[in-house]
Chain A
């Protein structure tokens, strides 16, 4: 190899080196480390780690009821978000897509909740849902239904749904923005031509808008599932997983294992299982998304 060639190669590698070093240190190494730790019993401090084979995975899958409860809870919130949150986002996007007065103002307003901190949102909603002096209870009394008052976040019958409402309120803005972008990408001429041919608005929506929007719907649903399954900050700010295990979600369980019980190995195994679950869901959705792209 000639000196100029060597110098060129060296220059190239040195340019790439910072990015590679950062990737290895902050992404690759932690990723591999999680897999390594998942087969050990380790408290996070001690230099001694006990190799336990797949015991951590076995415990998580077959003995840890609270883990499955947390998956179920996250699943419930996800289903609610997929339906109600995205329905609301779509309706608002359809409204704002039309030529209405102040549409830019609405676009900003609808996009505000997602950019707020989850902790702040949680604290505000804590006040709304408060059992003694909450806004919602005051409103119910005003409506003449004092018997409906309750501590919404502390009652096992309503805690999970209350948390879901907070999450959906905070999250619908993302879907709104993406769906609005999708709607605006549909050529206006298609709708106009259909109208000239006498098609109703419902017909245009079901036969033109929905098919062309299918890839966008799938994108929004993938983001909703991934975002909702990883819900965490709102839970911490409102219920901390309680009452009992009624609002526990996977991330709070992983944190409880890691920081509450100092079981780093077990927490890593939960993280891997959770990662695999999200990966499987994403793969199914990607398949469906590809299919929808072809269809649309």
Chain B
């Protein structure tokens, strides 16, 4: 090799390394000063968001560069990795539980939007459902030691209810306008539906958070909110008779053969298919199902109902709140522009457009009049929602997992409610002891 060709090769190698290094630089640095970079994972809302951001650019001259990373698991991993390398975009979302959001905030990645929300006598804040804001708000004295504030802007809301098939109700001799009002009526209806040849309740309980959701609904109904939270605080044991009563509901479902075959390992997409093809009469599903069922079976006749209470002591609470929220990067130099965009996105006109095109519930109350009628049943229950991200305390993750898996075990007849409760108490005691040691 002569000196000339060696120099050429060295130049090529050097350029390659420089190119490689520049590719590793934060992507938001590439955008110009008038561009806001937004990362999201919502494949179903991409088209609507692109339309909206184009409108925003026409109105304000600010370009919103949307980058879609799906599925949500991949998105969550990307955001986490970007946080570790300080390369988060101007606007992004944290998918996960309160402790994840808290960790992002405590690490200085997320801006507190409370000043913007509270300006002009709470003008921006007042537009939203209170429950929608609660998912990304931290109050004083929270267990994660986050400075109180508002750390996200909800772009839609959701809640999870029981969905029932009106046509199957009619075939089973039940009144589709009068769904079951309590647990006993629920089991009676399931018996009638099964006698008519239909499966009872279907849900993707292979995705254990849906088990947690159903159990939590009934825990709030039987124990009340304070006692549930006291359990997480370690002041109430799972062997408390009222927790046993909650676990016993799952045992009853098993004994009544009330569940569709295979729900304990079923993903929710399969459960949605089973319900949409009219093979099961009830489904536990979120308001997003309106869009899903429309795609699977446009002629499906169904209604949404609160899970029928098993006790009269406390009101039933369903999971709900913000469906998706955007956060503003605290280290971004374009904070104000990002907040201005999110304010615009949460205005009634944009929210109604987003809701109409994606069939999701808008986070702005004023948009409710303009949304499709089918979503109204879901919207009506927004005030009865709660969610783990809104609670001041959370259960130890390992105990939560044992709780969810344990209910699966009850559903397959492997454990009794008492056995599960004892296991949970034992596990929790061990983790508490370990925490004390550390």
CA distance A263 to B103 in the complex (A): 12
Per-residue A-contact encoding for B360-387, CB less than 8 Å = 1, 0 else:
0000000000000000000000000000
Q: Residue A27 at the B interface, CB < 8 A?
A: no
Contact (Cβ within 8 A) B405 A45: no
Q: Which one of A45, A50, A151 contacts B100 once the chains associate, using CB atoms below 8 Å?
A: A45
Q: Which residues of B contact A15 (CB under 8 A)?
A: 9, 13
Per-residue A-contact encoding for B70-102, CB less than 8 Å = 1, 0 else:
000100110010011000000000001101100
Number of residues of chain B lying within 8 A (CB) of chain A: 51
| Segment 139-193 of A: residues with Cβ below 8 Å from B | 151, 153-156, 159
Contact (Cβ within 8 A) B260 A132: yes
| Segment 413-438 of B: residues with Cβ below 8 Å from A | 414, 430, 434, 438
- A240-B206 contact in complex given A11-B6, A11-B10, A260-B401, C-beta closer than 8 Å: yes
Contact (Cβ within 8 A) A130 B262: yes
CA distance A155 to B264 in the complex (A): 9
Contact (Cβ within 8 A) B263 A47: no
Q: Residue B267 at the A interface, CB < 8 A?
A: yes
Within the complex, the shortest CB–CB distance from A251 to chain B, in Å, comes to 14
Q: Residue A126 at the B interface, CB < 8 A?
A: yes
CA distance A230 to B13 in the complex (A): 37
Contact (Cβ within 8 A) B106 A46: yes
How big is chain A's contact interface, by range? 35 or more
Chain A residue with minimal CB distance to B406? A244
Contact (Cβ within 8 A) B265 A154: yes
Q: Residue A256 at the B interface, CB < 8 A?
A: yes
Q: Residue A21 at the B interface, CB < 8 A?
A: yes
Chain A residue with minimal CB distance to B398? A261
Q: Which one of B13, B80, B107, B267 contacts A47 once the chains associate, using CB atoms below 8 Å?
A: B107
Q: Which residues of B contact A14 (CB under 8 A)?
A: 10, 13-14
Q: Residue A44 at the B interface, CB < 8 A?
A: yes
Within the complex, the shortest CB–CB distance from B153 to chain A, in Å, comes to 20
| Segment 112-146 of A: residues with Cβ below 8 Å from B | 126, 130-133
Within the complex, the shortest CB–CB distance from A42 to chain B, in Å, comes to 10
Per-residue A-contact encoding for B1-17, CB less than 8 Å = 1, 0 else:
00100100110011011
Contacts between the two chains (Cβ within 8 Å), count: 112
Q: Residue A243 at the B interface, CB < 8 A?
A: yes
Q: Residue A238 at the B interface, CB < 8 A?
A: yes
Contact (Cβ within 8 A) B397 A260: yes
- A154-B103 contact in complex given A50-B438, A63-B430, A244-B408, C-beta closer than 8 Å: no
Q: Which residues of B contact A260 (CB under 8 A)?
A: 397, 401
Per-residue A-contact encoding for B388-412, CB less than 8 Å = 1, 0 else:
0000000001100100011011011
Q: Residue B278 at the A interface, CB < 8 A?
A: no
Per-residue B-contact encoding for A226-255, CB less than 8 Å = 1, 0 else:
000000000000111011110000000000
Q: Which residues of B contact A244 (CB under 8 A)?
A: 405-406, 408-409, 412, 414
Contact (Cβ within 8 A) A242 B262: no
Chain A residue with minimal CB distance to B277? A133
- A45-B408 contact in complex given A15-B13, A243-B265, C-beta closer than 8 Å: no
Q: Which residues of B contact A97 (CB under 8 A)?
A: none
Contact (Cβ within 8 A) A240 B265: yes
Q: Which residues of A contact B122 (CB under 8 A)?
A: none
Q: Which one of B17, B80, B409, B430 contacts A21 once the chains associate, using CB atoms below 8 Å?
A: B17
Q: Which one of B13, B100, B261 contacts A131 once the chains associate, using CB atoms below 8 Å?
A: B261
Q: Which residues of B contact A7 (CB under 8 A)?
A: 3, 6
CA distance A261 to B414 in the complex (A): 25
CA distance A59 to B430 in the complex (A): 11
Q: Residue B266 at the A interface, CB < 8 A?
A: yes
Chain A residue with minimal CB distance to B280? A132
Within the complex, the shortest CB–CB distance from A122 to chain B, in Å, comes to 10
Q: Which one of A41, A45, A245 contacts B107 once the chains associate, using CB atoms below 8 Å?
A: A45
CA distance A44 to B99 in the complex (A): 11
CA distance A242 to B209 in the complex (A): 13
Q: Which residues of A contact B17 (CB under 8 A)?
A: 17-18, 21
Q: Which residues of B contact A132 (CB under 8 A)?
A: 199, 260-262, 274, 279
Chain B residue with minimal CB distance to A237? B267
Q: Which residues of B contact A133 (CB under 8 A)?
A: 279
Q: Which residues of B contact A240 (CB under 8 A)?
A: 206-208, 265, 267
Contact (Cβ within 8 A) A263 B438: no
Q: Residue B314 at the A interface, CB < 8 A?
A: no
Q: Which residues of B contact A63 (CB under 8 A)?
A: 430
Contact (Cβ within 8 A) B100 A262: yes
- A242-B13 contact in complex given A132-B199, A159-B265, A262-B397, C-beta closer than 8 Å: no
Q: Residue B104 at the A interface, CB < 8 A?
A: yes
CA distance A292 to B266 in the complex (A): 46
Q: Residue A259 at the B interface, CB < 8 A?
A: yes
Q: Which residues of A contact B199 (CB under 8 A)?
A: 132
Chain A residue with minimal CB distance to B410? A244
Chain A residue with minimal CB distance to B199? A132
Q: Which residues of A contact B261 (CB under 8 A)?
A: 130-132, 151, 154
Q: Residue B270 at the A interface, CB < 8 A?
A: yes
CA distance A55 to B430 in the complex (A): 13
Instruction: List 5 other contacts, CB 8 Å, given A7-B6, A45-B107, A262-B99.
Output: A132-B260, A244-B406, A245-B405, A261-B398, A262-B97
In the A-B complex, the 5 residue pairs with the smallest Cβ-Cβ separation, listed nearest first, are A131-B261, A151-B262, A261-B397, A45-B103, A131-B262
Residues of B within 8 A of A (CB): 3, 6, 9-10, 13-14, 16-17, 73, 76-77, 80, 83-84, 96-97, 99-100, 103-104, 106-107, 109, 199, 206-208, 260-267, 270, 274, 279, 397-398, 401, 405-406, 408-409, 411-412, 414, 430, 434, 438
Residues of A within 8 A of B (CB): 7, 11, 14-15, 17-18, 21, 41, 43-47, 50, 52, 55, 59, 63, 126, 130-133, 151, 153-156, 159, 238-240, 242-245, 256, 259-263
